[in-house]
């Protein structure tokens, strides 16, 4: 995973821990791919100010991940959701082709809805 992708992911999880200025500079730099000079001009601060703000933001977010592991846990969680979805599909296919149970069909629908809900976080 590239550095950029990694910081963008950290932003999704820990962006709320940053100050407005930190978040703004990091989003410009990593999500919008602006140069330090362009960000400096946009925000009316020095290039060095932009660089410092991004560095501090990265420190806050890497530090938070080291302590809370939200990104790591989220990956493991998503793997489990994939496994569950695949096996729900297997049950669904069997049921549709062979048993045609409305009760099972309804339960599958409810489960898929809940999986979609928790998959969004």
Q: Does 20 engage in binding with its own copies (CB under 8 A)?
A: no
Q: Which long-range contacts (CB under 8 A, 24 or more apart) does 86-90 make?
A: 88/112, 88/115
DSSP-derived secondary structure letter, 15 = G
Helix, strand counts (H, E) of the chain:
6, 0
Quick one: which segment of 1-9, 28-36, 37-45, 70-78 binds its own copies (CB under 8 A)?
A: 70-78
Task: In whole angstroms, give the CA distance from residue 34 to residue 32.
Answer: 6
- In the complex, the smallest distance separating the C-beta of residue 54 from its own copies, rounded to whole angstroms, is 20
| List of residues contacting its own copies (CB under 8 A) | 14, 16-17, 64, 67-68, 70, 73, 76-77, 80-81, 83-84, 87-88, 90-91, 94-95, 98-99, 101, 103-104, 107-108, 110-111, 114-115, 117-118, 121
């Amino acid at each position: 995973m590239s550095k950029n992708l990694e910081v963008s992911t950290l932003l999704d999880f820990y962006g709320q821990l940053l100050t407005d200025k930190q978040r703004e500079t990091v989003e410009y730099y990593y999500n919008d791919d602006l140069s330090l000079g362009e960000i400096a001009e946009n925000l009316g601060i020095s290039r060095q100010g932009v660089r410092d703000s991004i560095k501090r933001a990265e420190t806050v977010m890497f530090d938070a991940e080291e302590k809370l592991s939200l990104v790591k846990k989220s990956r493991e969680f998503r793997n489990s959701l994939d496994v569950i979805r695949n096996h729900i599909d297997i049950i669904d296919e069997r049921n549709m082709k062979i048993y045609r149970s409305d009760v099972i069909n309804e339960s599958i629908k409810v489960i898929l809805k809940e999986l979609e809900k928790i998959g969004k976080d």
